[in-house]
């Protein structure tokens, strides 16, 4: 860590604002290209993923997954098991120890390995002349990459500021489980957290305006709703939020249609907003969209020719791996004069529910909206030998292909082990494969990924008429 200042010889080649995944990716990439880099962080190093999001949530999701498996093992004759939470504070402390370990190993301890990177702790923003400052002092840098991330969205519901609502950060820090929980929002964050707490023994009500995973294929959203309900999660769909208030030990949410829901705590999972509002971007001529996302072109450049932006602060593809990818492009373009373009056409995404939801490419609705003529195949998991052997046939696989050419356009998987299979579909799309190509691909028997082969064959065959491993 260094005091705010400039290196010998004048300004830095690149200043990176934000010390999360995108910021580190940009700083390291630029340093490897020979640039002198200032990485400017304000607060805990490492950003959202390792500290507040991916790592802590998936650690706790895995912890309670064991409880579910213990209860579900009765699907096998002659097998019994049980599981329960005995000390939630200990579970959370173990999660935090992992967070601390990874923050050190993947962030703080990485910096000394890069001599061209100076870490500077302070608040960066643009002054009224559009110059970069850190803690109010002018900070000379030839180029700038903004990678300040995002934060949980707080919806404008009357009374929301008075009830001590949880968000995705504070919910994962609870050392005592509430008896009941209202979860607002059924996107990927809401679904993951609702199931996590329900499996830990909390009575959960999941409230949304657009249903479960509204951007997923409708067949997948509808099936996941059933599976969540089977685990005791109450699902409620309303047109809007009227107000929220505390009534003794109960938080009560009222919908615009007169609906009323109560629980001990309320958790907001209504999306995330870019951390762009405190940067004084307008003074630097940098544009933002309606939700505060910094507007960039395909090369990650803002309208200010010396400023690039990457990651959640742009408001798109809010996944840590896409933040790192975009930041790498921004850094190369900024310091090496390259013109690398951002391409999310084969970006895989995962929701760590159970069953897991994973997808890549175009959905059927998106493909049709683009004016494409498409054909689809939907394969229920009870047609996949792996699921039959596991006695867990929850889920399905849906493939979207272009009519005529048969070229694959998209895939979505709902399966207990679906997350580890989606990359095969991503590679198929990247290679421009047809569904015939995918159906002819050799895949190992009794795996979830074999379901992709079977789904591809479903376009033109009845897989029920095939023997095991029939090609």
Residues belonging to the binding site for NAD(+) are: 185-192, 271
Q: Which residues pair with 98 in a beta bridge?
A: none
DSSP, collapsed to helix, strand or coil, labels residue 378 as strand
Helix axes 54-72, 188-199, angle to 10 degrees: 50
Please check whether residue 332 is in contact with residue 33, taking contact to mean a CB–CB distance below 8 angstroms.
yes
Segment (H or E) for 142: strand 141-146
Rounded CA-CA distance 453/93 in Å is 42
Segment (H or E) for 427: helix 422-430
- Number of Cβ within 10 Å of residue 17's Cβ equals 29
Helix axes 21-32, 320-336, angle to 10 degrees: 30
H-type alpha helices, 243-311: none
Indicate the annotated binding residues for FAD. Answer: 58, 148-150, 312
Indicate the annotated binding residues. Answer: 58, 148-150, 185-192, 271, 312
From residue 146, how far is each of 296, 307, 308, 313, 384 by CA, in Å? 11, 7, 6, 8, 46
Rounded CA-CA distance 467/471 in Å is 9
- DSSP letters spanning 33-76: TT--EEEEE-SSTTHHHHHTSHHHHHHHHHHHHHHHHHHHGGGS
Please check whether residue 33 is in contact with residue 166, taking contact to mean a CB–CB distance below 8 angstroms.
no
Q: Which pairs with CB-CB distance under 8 Å and at least 24 residues apart come from 75-80?
A: 75/391, 75/392, 76/391
Segment (H or E) for 411: strand 408-415
- Number of Cβ within 10 Å of residue 298's Cβ equals 12
- Computed on alpha carbons and rounded to an integer, the radius of gyration of the chain in Å comes to 24
Category of 51 on φ-ψ map: left (φ > 0), alpha (ψ -120 to 50) or beta: alpha
Phi, psi values for residue 103, rounded to 5°: -60, -40
Residue 154: alpha-carbon gap to chain centroid: 18
Q: Which residues pair with 412 in a beta bridge?
A: 359, 398
């Amino acid at each position: 860590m260094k005091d705010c200042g400039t290196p010998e010889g004048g300004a830095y080649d690149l200043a990176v604002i934000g010390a999360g995944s995108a910021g580190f990716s940009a700083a390291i990439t630029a340093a490897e290209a020979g640039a002198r880099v200032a990485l400017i962080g304000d607060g805990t190093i490492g950003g959202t993923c390792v500290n507040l999001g991916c790592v802590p949530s998936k650690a706790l999701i895995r912890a309670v997954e064991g409880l579910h498996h213990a209860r579900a093992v009765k699907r096998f004759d002659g097998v019994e098991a049980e599981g329960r939470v005995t000390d939630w504070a200990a579970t959370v402390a173990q999660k935090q120890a992992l967070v601390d370990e990874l923050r050190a190993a993947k962030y703080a301890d990485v910096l000394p390995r890069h001599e061209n990177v100076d870490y500077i702790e302070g608040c960066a923003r643009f002054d009224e002349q559009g110059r970069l400052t850190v803690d109010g002092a002018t900070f000379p840098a030839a180029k700038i990459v903004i990678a300040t991330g995002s934060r949980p969205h707080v919806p404008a519901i009357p009374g929301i500021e008075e009830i001590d609502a949880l968000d995705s950060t504070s919910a994962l820090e609870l050392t005592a489980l509430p008896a009941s929980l209202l979860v607002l929002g059924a996107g990927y964050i809401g679904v993951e957290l609702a199931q996590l707490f329900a499996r830990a023994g909390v009575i959960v009500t999941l409230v949304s305006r657009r249903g479960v995973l509204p951007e997923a294929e409708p067949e997948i959203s509808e099936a996941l709703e059933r599976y969540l309900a089977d685990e005791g999660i109450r699902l409620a769909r309303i047109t809007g939020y009227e107000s929220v208030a505390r009534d003794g030990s109960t938080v009560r949410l009222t919908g615009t249609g007169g609906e009323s829901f109560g629980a001990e705590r309320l958790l907001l999972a209504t999306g995330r907003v870019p951390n762009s509002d405190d940067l004084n971007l307008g003074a630097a001529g940098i544009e933002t969209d309606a939700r505060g996302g910094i507007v960039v072109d395909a090369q990650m450049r803002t309208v200010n020719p010396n400023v690039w932006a990457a990651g959640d602060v742009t408001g798109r593809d809010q996944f840590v791996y896409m933040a790192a990818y975009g930041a790498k492009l921004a850094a190369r373009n900024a310091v090496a004069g390259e013109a690398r373009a951002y391409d999310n056409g084969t970006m895989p995404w995962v929701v760590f529910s159970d069953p897991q939801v994973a997808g890549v490419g175009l959905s059927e609705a998106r493909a049709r909206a683009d004016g494409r003529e498409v054909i689809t195949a939907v394969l229920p998991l009870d047609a996949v030998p792996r699921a039959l052997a596991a006695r867990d046939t929850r889920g399905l696989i849906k493939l979207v292909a272009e009519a005529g050419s048969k070229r694959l356009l998209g895939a979505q998987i709902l399966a207990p082990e679906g997350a580890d299979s989606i990359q095969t579909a991503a590679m198929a799309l990247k290679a421009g494969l047809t569904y015939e190509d995918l159906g002819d691909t050799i895949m190992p028997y009794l795996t979830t990924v074999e379901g992709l082969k079977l789904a591809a064959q479903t376009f033109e065959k009845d897989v029920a008429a095939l023997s095991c491993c029939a090609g």
